[in-house]
Amino acid sequence: MSTEVPLLQVEDLTKLFPIRRGLFQRVIGHVRAIDGVGFDIRRGEIFGLAGESGSGKSTLARIVVGLDGASSGRIRFVGEDVHTLRGTRGFRRRVQMVFQNPGSSLNPRRSIEQTLSVPLRFHGIAPSAIAPRVRELLEMVELPASFRAKYPFELSGGQKQRVAIARALAVEPELLVLDEPTSALDVSVQAKVIELLMRIRNELDLSYLFISHDLSLMRNFTTRIAVMYLGKLCEMGFTGDVFDHPAHPYTQGLISSVPVVSEEEAALKPAVERIRGEIPSPANVPPGCSFHTRCPAAFRPCRIDDPAFVQVGFEHRTRCHLFPRDSTA
C-alpha cells in the first residue's frame, strides 16, 4: 500500500443516544448506536458499509458529514480532525451526502433550480455563474435542463434522487456519503442510479462511502466492504475476499441468503444456515459477542467475551471467536 494519508479515517467511534423517561426526563439508559467503529477510506475508493436496519449506518453517515457529533472517537478527513473542521465551509465543500429517502430530501416548496443553487450560493459561486452551473449539474445526472423549473412533486423517485445527487456534486466534493441511495427505488431504477453513480465517480475521480442494507447489491462496484451489526463492525475486507471467503457467520448468512442464479453459483456458496430471528434492540445489546443470540456457530465464550477484531487475511478482519487471534498469513 502507498503511504498516502487516507481520505477519511474513522477511529474507535462511538455514539450513544440517551434514553429518557418520566417527568424529569431522567436518563435511564443508552442506545449504543455505534460502538468502537474504525475504518479508513482511501482516495478513489468505493467503500461499502452493509448492515441491517438499526445497525447504526445512518448514524455513522451523519457523524461523518458533521451533522452530529460523536460520543467518543475521532474522524479525520485527510488527516485533520473533522470535529474541528465541522461546520467550516471548506469541510462542507469536500464531503457531501445523499440521503436515503428521495421523497423527503428535496424541499417541496422549492423548485429544482432553487434547490440546486443553495450549495452554489453558499460556496461563493458568482450569481451569474449559478444558472449555467445548474444546467451543467442536471446534465451530469442525465436530466433535461427543463427540470430546473419543476417542483419535487412532479418528479419520480429516481428523478428526485438524481437531483439529490446533483446537489451533492454541486460544490465538487471529494467524498460522497451515499446513505442507501437506492433502497427506496424500484429495482430497474435502482440499477440506473447506481450506473449513474459509477459513471460520475469515474469522471470526477470521487470516493464513495456507499451504505446499504443489501450486501449483495454492493458486490459489483465496491472496492472494500465492511459489515456492521448492532453498531460494531463484524467483518471488513476487499470485496472479493469478503464474498469468496466470508469469515464471520453473520456475513456468511447474509451472503447465503442471496438468491442464487445458477448451479455453479450454488456450489460456490458456503453451506451455512440462514440467520435466525430478529436483530436485538441496540438499547439492549446482548453480552459477549452481540451476534451470539442468532449465531449458528455460537459456543460458550461467545456468551461471555466480546471477540476482538482480528486479522484473518490481507486487510481482512473479523470479530468472531472462531478466529481467536491474528491468523494472518
Partner 1 sequence: MSDLALSPSATPDESSRHRAWRRGWYRFRRNPAAVAGLVLVVLVVVAALGAPWLAPSPESAGTFVNFGERHQPPSLHHLFGTDNVGRDVFSRVLYGYRVSLLLVVFVLGLSVPFGVLLGLLAGYYGGWIETVIMRITDIFLAIPALVMALAITAALSPSLMNGMIAISLLWWNWHTRLIYTTVHALRHEEYVEAAKIAGASDAHILFREILPNCISVISVKVTLDAGFVILIGAGLSFLGLGAQPPTPDLGTMVASGANYLPEDWWESVLPGLAILFAILGFNLLGDGLRDLLDVEVS
Ligand X SMILES: Nc1ncnc2c1ncn2[C@@H]1O[C@H](COP(=O)(O)OP(=O)(O)OP(=O)(O)O)[C@@H](O)[C@H]1O
List residues binding ligand X (CB under 6 A): 17, 31, 33, 51, 53-59, 213, 282
| Residue 171 in contact with partner 1, rule: CB under 8 A | yes
| Residue 251 in contact with Mg ion, rule: CB under 5 A | no
24: how many CB neighbours lie within 10 A of its CB?
7
| Residue 26 in contact with partner 1, rule: CB under 8 A | no
Identify what 181 binds: partner 1, Mg ion, ligand X, none; CB under 5 to 8 Å per kind.
Answer: none
Q: Which is nearer to ligand X, 92 or 213 (CB)?
A: 213
Among 49, 75, 143, 236, binds partner 1 (CB under 8 A): 143
Answer yes or no: are the C-beta atoms of 66 and 86 closer than 8 Å.
Answer: yes
CA 168 to each of CA 81, 162, 248, 277, 293: distance values in angstroms, whole numbers, following the listed order:
22, 10, 34, 37, 40
Q: Give me the least distance between CB of 283 and partner 1, in Å please.
A: 20
Q: Give me the least distance between CB of 58 and ligand X, in Å please.
A: 3
Q: Give me the least distance between CB of 294 and Mg ion, in Å please.
A: 20
| Residue 99 in contact with partner 1, rule: CB under 8 A | yes
Which residue carries 480532525 as its cell?
A: 81
Answer yes or no: are the C-beta atoms of 210 and 225 closer than 8 Å.
Answer: no
Q: Residue 25 corresponds to which cell in the numbers above?
A: 426526563
| Residue 93 in contact with partner 1, rule: CB under 8 A | yes
In the chain, the amino acid numbered 105 is S
Q: Which is nearer to ligand X, 39 or 323 (CB)?
A: 39
Q: Give me the least distance between CB of 228 and partner 1, in Å please.
A: 21
| Residue 101 in contact with partner 1, rule: CB under 8 A | yes
Answer yes or no: are the C-beta atoms of 183 and 167 closer than 8 Å.
Answer: no
For every residue of 206-273, DSSP letters joined together read -EEEEEES-TGGGGGT-SEEEEEETTEEEEEEEHHHHHHS--SHHHHHHHHTSPP-SHHHHHHS---P
Among 55, 58, 182, 207, binds Mg ion (CB under 5 A): 58
Q: Which is nearer to partner 1, 31 or 106 (CB)?
A: 106
| Residue 17 in contact with partner 1, rule: CB under 8 A | no
Pair type for strands 224-229 and 46-51 = parallel
Q: Within 13 Å of residue 256, how many CA atoms lie on the same side as its CB?
A: 19
Q: Give me the least distance between CB of 223 and partner 1, in Å please.
A: 24
**DSSP code of 323?**
S
Residues in the site for partner 1, rule: CB under 8 A? 62, 65-67, 89, 92-93, 96-97, 99-101, 104-110, 114-115, 118-119, 122-123, 142-144, 149-151, 153-159, 164, 167, 170-171, 188-189, 192
Residues in the site for Mg ion, rule: CB under 5 A? 58
